[in-house]
A and B are shown apart, each in its own frame.
Chain A
Amino acid sequence: MLRVSGEFEGKKVNLQSIVDGAEIQSGVPFQDELIRFAEVALGDDDKEIARAREAVRAKMGDAALVDAAGVIANFQRMVRIADGAGIPLDKPVAVITAPMRSELGLNTYASADNTPALNLGQRILGRVLNPFLPVLFKRLASRLSDTDKVR
């Protein structure tokens, strides 16, 4: 979603920053403050957390700090559910994200074992669909928007 949302905002995002942190320039505004906040929030050093929190607050404001904390909390929880239950990646997502997962090295994560390996046809399909992801999401978003209008 980072890659696709970046294209929607007209920004080329370097996904490697997700794996390597702030050493990589992602192209996302205030990436250093946000990544630092996410990294220390997963630890237990209260002083570091307070420092990172204040940095986000100073650069982005109170409301942005609250929203950032919410996202961090949400994905800490999702990890526990997904990996605690040992669920596999949803098949359509597994197919269309295969090239990206391979490039970023995500297949080396222990929890990757929960998802069955793709067959050759699925891997090829993933490569073929990969360039069209933004278009596919745009169409999906448009359909959802139309559904909202009907409601």
Chain B
Amino acid sequence: MTQAVNVFAAMSLVPDSVRMLTRLSGVQYLDAADVVNPASNGGREISRIQIELLAGRVSSLSDCFY
């Protein structure tokens, strides 16, 4: 059995919200399969380390531990 990550599990009482989040994240960030593959930038114009630098800086500025 596959364990959903907590951010998806937290929304799972409203399945459409999970579907929406998955699709939106795939457009704005990366598809789920690409997230765990550090060699992939999902075909973006910016490299994976540039993507992760942005992700990390935004999360840090928001004091996001998750």
Contact = CB atoms under 8 A, between A and B. Distances in A.
A42 B62 contact: yes
Contact of A18 (B7, B25, B28, B56): B56
A6 B11 CA distance: 31
B7 A38 contact: no
B52 A78 contact: no
Q: Is the interface of B mostly helix, strand, loop or mixed?
A: helix
Interface in B7-63: 7, 9-11, 21, 24-25, 27-29, 33, 35-40, 44-63
Contacts of A77: 24
A82 interface: yes
A133 to B, nearest CB: 9
A90 to B, nearest CB: 5
Chain B interface category by residue count = 35 or more
Main secondary structure of the interface of A (DSSP, over half): helix
A51 to B, nearest CB: 17
A122 interface: no
Contacts of A30: 50
A76 B39 CA distance: 24
Contacts of B2: none
Contacts of B21: 81
Nearest to A63: B45
A146 to B, nearest CB: 12
A148 B33 contact: yes
27 contacts: A2-B55, A5-B38, A5-B39, A18-B57, A18-B59, A26-B53, A29-B50, A30-B50, A38-B58, A42-B61, A70-B28, A70-B29, A71-B28, A71-B29, A78-B7, A78-B59, A79-B58, A85-B11, A87-B6, A87-B7, A90-B6, A109-B63, A109-B64, A112-B65, A114-B66, A140-B36, A144-B33
Interface of B: 5-7, 9-11, 21, 24-25, 27-29, 33, 35-40, 44-66
Interface of A: 1-2, 4-9, 11, 13, 15, 17-19, 21, 26, 28-31, 34-35, 37-39, 41-42, 60-61, 63-64, 66-68, 70-79, 81-83, 85, 87-90, 101, 106-107, 109-112, 114-115, 134, 137, 140-141, 144-145, 148
